[in-house]
Amino acid sequence: MRGLFKSKNKESSNMPTTQQQAQTQQQTQVQPTQQQLAQQQAQARQQYQQQAHQQQHLSFQHELEQLNELIAQRTVEIEQEKKTKERYQMELAEAQKVFKDKEAEYSAIEHSFFEHTRAIRATDDDLSTIRDSFKLLKYSIARLLMTLNKKADRARATQKFVSTWPKLNIVDPTTGEMEPSFVNLLAEKLVHEHLVKHVFSVPIYPGLKVNAAYQALNDWLQSHSSQFSVRLRQQMAAVVAKSSKDSEIHQAAQKEKQNIATLIYDDLAEIYHPFLRENDAAVDEEKRYYNKICDIVDKCLKLTVAMRGQEVEITTIGIEEGKEKFQEETMTEVKGRTNGLVRFLICPTFMGGDLEHGFLEKGKVVITGN
């Protein structure tokens, strides 16, 4: 019994060990299944990552192929544009060469023409001789009027001057009279205005039928900055200078000279009334004032031809009477004064080119007293 009990106890003591082994074996069987699951999950993740990487690689490769195609297309276009540009550059270079050749050819023709026309001078005058001629002309006019000093009808002269220049301040507002010294000065002014208007301001030469046509052409040439306008003016002057006395040019000029002289004579006869006409009726023809005036106009005609033949264009410079200040650089005053407003202009300023290297004949003015 005791041995049986012990045996039972022994068996009883061995039972937990067997259960434990079974449990351990069961756990051992379960544990590999979890590992396998973990491995499967790891494999699945790895496989997913591989597939994602492959997909990304394929997408990148596709984009790269598209980019390469675009680069190839742009390369072709650039090559085409490069060839087009090279063609245009060749055409431009050829056109520029043709243009330079034509320009050189034109310059040679122009130079030859200018040299040819330069050799054809209207007169032998230059700017210094023209300046001397101006001084002689102004002296001739002043001397002519000095011979008429105190021969004027002051009332008629005042009326004449006021009607001719209504805005000119020449009459004393208090007395209504004009200074006696103004008579000869204003008569001189009147003569110069006729000469400027009818001789010096004429495009080429008084009496020419082509004056208006020349002026239109000259304006057009100057608006296009063409030097040919200078040559054209010189050529026209040369034609006038070389015309014979029986030519249409000379005859038309002589007729115009008589018309201009008559205008001046009639104005002076009104100022120096009745002396001028009475004197001319009593003396020989060569001593008449009308002939003296014709000589003055003739001097102007010769002077204007000399002026038109120069390289520089000599023109009159306007002076605003009653408003402009005296400018010693371009004016002289009858009494030598140098400060004040220009009361009235006797003879305008003639200028050509610039003050330093061109032509200048100062204007003659009367200024207001200080």
Backbone CA torsion sign across 180, 182, 188, 189? negative
Decide if 284 contacts 306 (C-beta within 8 A).
no
Which structure tokens are listed for 6? 């012990």
Length of the chain: 370
Helix (H, G, I), strand (E, B) or coil at 208: coil
Give residue 347's pLDDT band: very low, low, confident or very high (50, 70, 90): very high
Provide the β-strand partners of residue 367: 342
Decide if 272 contacts 152 (C-beta within 8 A).
yes
What pLDDT sits at residue 115?
66
What is the rounded average pLDDT of the residues 222-251?
92
φ, ψ (nearest 5 deg) of residue 359: -110, 140
Which structure tokens are listed for 264? 């001046």
User: Which stretch of DSSP H or E encloses residue 346?
Assistant: strand 342-347
d(Cα 99, Cα 85) in Å, to the nearest integer? 20
Residue with more model confidence, 309 or 36: 309
363-367 sheet: strands from edge to edge: 331-333, 363-367, 342-347
Decide if 217 contacts 249 (C-beta within 8 A).
no
Helix (H, G, I), strand (E, B) or coil at 123: coil
User: Which DSSP category does 196 fall into?
Assistant: I
pTM (2 d.p.) = 0.68
User: Which stretch of DSSP H or E encloses residue 367?
Assistant: strand 363-367
What pLDDT sits at residue 9?
47
Weakest mean pLDDT among 35-49, 66-80, 170-184, 337-351: 35-49
Q: What is the residue whose two structure tokens read 């002051």?
A: 154
Could you tell me which of 305, 354, 348 has the C-alpha nearest to residue 202? 305
Decide if 309 contacts 232 (C-beta within 8 A).
no
Q: Are strands 363-367 and 331-333 parallel, antiparallel or unpaired?
A: parallel
The H-assigned helical ranges of the chain are 2-119, 127-146, 154-164, 182-195, 211-223, 228-241, 248-271, 275-282, 289-308
Q: Does residue 233 surpass a pLDDT of 80?
A: yes
Weakest mean pLDDT among 4-13, 166-175, 219-228: 4-13
C-alpha distances in angstroms, 358 versus 168, 280, 354? 32, 42, 5
Which structure tokens are listed for 82? 């490069």
How many CA atoms does the CB half-sphere of 127 hold within 13 Å?
16
What is the rounded average pLDDT of the residues 107-125?
73
What is the rounded average pLDDT of the residues 193-208?
96
User: Which DSSP category does 226 fall into?
Assistant: -
Weakest mean pLDDT among 116-125, 198-207, 354-363: 116-125
User: Which DSSP category does 197 fall into?
Assistant: I
What residues contact 260, with CB distance under 8 A and at least 6 apart?
194, 195, 198, 199, 206, 297
d(Cα 328, Cα 104) in Å, to the nearest integer? 46
Q: Does residue 3 surpass a pLDDT of 60?
A: no
| Mean pLDDT, the chain, integer | 87
Residue with more model confidence, 27 or 258: 258
